[in-house]
Amino acid sequence: MHDWNGFVDAASRPENGHIPPLRAPYNFVSLNRDVLPTPLGCTPDLSMPVPDAISGTLTVEWAAETPLLVGGQLEEAPGTEDDGRQSRGGPADPARGRKMSKPFTLGGSLDYAIPGASLRGMIRAVLEIAAYGRLNFFDDSLFGVRNFDDVTWQAKVAPKKDEFPSGGFLKRGKDRSGERAEFLTPCSAFKVDISHICSLLGVGYDEWHRMPLVKRRRELHRKTVRGPDGRPTPLTQPVDAGELLGAGFEGRPALLVVAGAAIRDDKQGTNKKYEMVFLLDTMGEPVRLLPATVQRFRDIQVADGNEHRGDPDASWSYWRPVLDQESGGGRDWLAFETHALEKGIPVFWRNERGQEQRVPTEQSFLSLTRFMRVPYEHSVRKVAKWTQSDLNKDEPLDLVEALFGWAPPEAEEPAEGRLARKRAWRSRVKFGIATLPDGVRAETLDPVTGVTMKPRASFFPFYLRPDPQGKGTKHPVDYDNRNAVLAGRKRYPARNGSAERLPQAVDATRQEQLSDLTFLKASRERPLTFRSTIKVHNVTPVELGALVWALTFGQHGGADRGRRHMLGRAKAYGYGQVRATIADHSLTAVLTPDRAVDPAACMAAFQTWVTDSLPAEKAAGSPYEALPEIRELCAMAHAPTGEQLRNHLKFTRHQSGRNAPEMTLKAYQRIKQLATQRHAKNGDRREDTVPGFGKESVADHGREDAFLRLPCYPFDE
């Protein structure tokens, strides 16, 4: 239900209220269940002219109406270089680790341009919606949960009172047949007081809690205590257990196992009091784990991003090279992790709740910390597969795949259905680089430092919806629920006006989350207009019309209705609003060169093709732009609507945070907490024990599933 008042009321909730504001700078176009195959047929022969074939060139003007940054150069900010060996335990260097992104140029420092690949990706995303195509590009993630109150966590690994996960060592090796395999060797684990570790190292309690794992391990390696043989031994190696656990453990070999940083700055607190000690004389027989068990463990680990440089911050980024026995790349810590390289990395394990916990099984849950992180049952791809039922079927190419090209993804494991096809289809559309006209010089704004975020597992109440065919399923649903479907294709609504200030850095902000961004100056009053060509070869009138519609949101040949694209960095804050217009064209009907080609007529033919191709109950005689998915797409592209909703197109926040980025994370955490509170199960759904849970309406518009759900974007065109 696309209710204007409901949308505004949900977004306007108080930031210190029981439920944070249900708002975001993005929204979702419903994912089409019906995928329309290419009008060329099941097996198009692109070596021959297609019916009514058209070839030629479109000349397109791209007018940036808000500041634009399509990144070309990614550099280390001046004076922020990191040799990978600096101490990471103390206060953050205010600049180290920050990246600087500048606009794309053609060689010269002022020859600003927009790469053709960026334009192609932007238009393809629109066209996949407009032509009822498949969901081809998304991050196939498996999320995990570590939350005492989460029903998934409770069901899978909740321990009994005073019960802890067991310890063990995860090692890659070979089985008896010589095939690669991973083995878990269990052992007993005991708690050691952190204050004792601090006294051994001569470091402060708070300092220890701030140290990432690599810093802790270096400090431990510098300190020697009595080893099992009585000799001085670094604390990264097996030592006499009595040195760590005291009387009664003398003479027994033990390994100190520590986690990563618990706090980021002095203003944070933690109730963590213990690290763990593994007794090596209790090691049992290795258990071969199923490949799926290990893959799930790998998939849910939190790792440093691709742009991270220097020492690892995330514990998985420290241990993964040890597990995989990689070398080089500045990983100096491998030199003192000799025990882990030989015996395996230290992990904690538990069998599923209700099973015997004395020995691991081939499906045991694994974790780098004793507070277990466990995977959800379903990955994003699985949810996508049943959201769009033919995602993996061996169906014909859709219009977008046949026009823009399609290549089978690379995969180690054999894929099913259409993903297993080996034949690739070449593109018949070529996007050129967009450049500024001769004599036009773009100005840049002063660089701004901002905090960037990426989607997290805790965002799921916004990214998922209950399946309308799910027999009464109510929101919130998570990745364990078979009746959960993807919320749709994510879009950033156009909103007109000046772009907003980016969330700013504070002392506690991790520097690798910061970016120095340089935008090209542009506004609605003084747009910055680039020009490029799009070459088409051997396309049908319907395919050409689809491209024209996607470029102009159906505005070609008519009045400007305010529909805009969003391109480049910081779209969540209004940057990168672009108007695309077809300034000229040179198109030829291949088999009948004397016939004029009218892009507007082709666009009309495309719209007719869509409505005629959809099932009768779906189209129901509606004009093309009245179809639900198209109406949603046009609404989010409609800048005047976004302008009216500008104050509500912001990340949700909760005032328990100390700064804007933290307020956003606190809000999502609060929403997730409300969505995962303990409650009894009722079939495949969860029946709450909290009054009003799952039953609150937004603005009384009669939708029970609106509780904790991002409201649908309103229509106002």
3-state secondary structure 384-421: HHHHCCCCCCCCCCEHHHHHHCECCCCCCCCCCHHHHC
For 146-166, the DSSP string reads: --TT-HHHHHHHPPPTT--PE
Cα distance between residue 120 and residue 112, in whole Å: 18
Q: What is the mean pLDDT of residues 201-228?
A: 93
Give yes or no for a contact between 487 and 464, defined as CB atoms under 8 angstroms apart. Answer: yes
Of the spans 380-389, 447-456, 595-604, 613-622, which averages the highest pLDDT? 595-604
617 or 255, greater pLDDT: 255
Give yes or no for a contact between 149 and 676, defined as CB atoms under 8 angstroms apart. Answer: yes
pLDDT confidence tier of residue 677, bands split at 50, 70 and 90: low
Mean pLDDT is lowest, of 51-55, 113-117, 568-572, 705-709, for: 705-709
The two three-digit tokens of residue 572, written as one number: 């969540």
For residue 393, count other CB atoms closer than 10 A to its CB. Answer: 15
Mean pLDDT is lowest, of 259-273, 345-359, 365-379, 586-600, for: 259-273
Mean pLDDT score of the chain: 83
Q: What share of the chain in percent tops pLDDT 70? A: 83
How high is the pLDDT of residue 513?
Answer: 60
| Of residues 384, 121, 338, the one with CA closest to residue 238 | 338
- Asked if pLDDT for residue 72 goes beyond 80, the answer is no
Q: What is the mean pLDDT of residues 67-79?
A: 72
pLDDT confidence tier of residue 454, bands split at 50, 70 and 90: low
How high is the pLDDT of residue 195?
Answer: 94
pLDDT confidence tier of residue 81, bands split at 50, 70 and 90: very low
Residue 255, classed as helix, strand or coil, is: strand
Give yes or no for a contact between 491 and 29, defined as CB atoms under 8 angstroms apart. Answer: yes
Q: What is the pLDDT of residues 534-544, one digit of tens each?
A: 999 999 999 99
The two three-digit tokens of residue 569, written as one number: 């960095």
Of the spans 74-78, 185-189, 663-667, which averages the highest pLDDT? 185-189
268 or 60, greater pLDDT: 60
Mean pLDDT is lowest, of 83-87, 434-438, 492-496, 690-694, for: 690-694
Strand 27-29, strand 514-517: pairing: unpaired
| 476, 479, 480, 485 alpha-carbon torsion, rounded to 10° | 70
Give yes or no for a contact between 642 and 717, defined as CB atoms under 8 angstroms apart. Answer: no
How high is the pLDDT of residue 423?
Answer: 56
Q: What is the distance of C-alpha 501 from the center of its chain?
A: 23
- Asked if pLDDT for residue 706 goes beyond 50, the answer is no
How high is the pLDDT of residue 574?
Answer: 93
Q: Do you find a cis peptide bond into 711, omega within 30 degrees of 0?
A: no
Tell me the pTM: 0.85
How high is the pLDDT of residue 705?
Answer: 40
Cα distance between residue 672 and residue 477, in whole Å: 11
What pairs with residue 232 in β-bridges?
Answer: 226
Q: What is the mean pLDDT of residues 577-595?
A: 94
Per-residue DSSP letter, 112: B
Give yes or no for a contact between 600 and 557, defined as CB atoms under 8 angstroms apart. Answer: yes
How high is the pLDDT of residue 256?
Answer: 97
Q: What share of the chain in percent tops pLDDT 90? A: 50
Q: What is the mean pLDDT of residues 537-553?
A: 97
282 or 155, greater pLDDT: 282
Question: Which residues does 23 contact at the CB level (< 8 Å), separation at least 6?
Answer: 10, 11, 648, 649, 650, 651, 652, 710
The two three-digit tokens of residue 671, written as one number: 């929403």
For 287-328, the DSSP string reads: EEPPHHHHHHHHHT-----TT--SS--SHHHHHHHHHTT---
How high is the pLDDT of residue 684?
Answer: 38
pLDDT confidence tier of residue 282, bands split at 50, 70 and 90: very high
pLDDT confidence tier of residue 458, bands split at 50, 70 and 90: low
How high is the pLDDT of residue 95?
Answer: 45
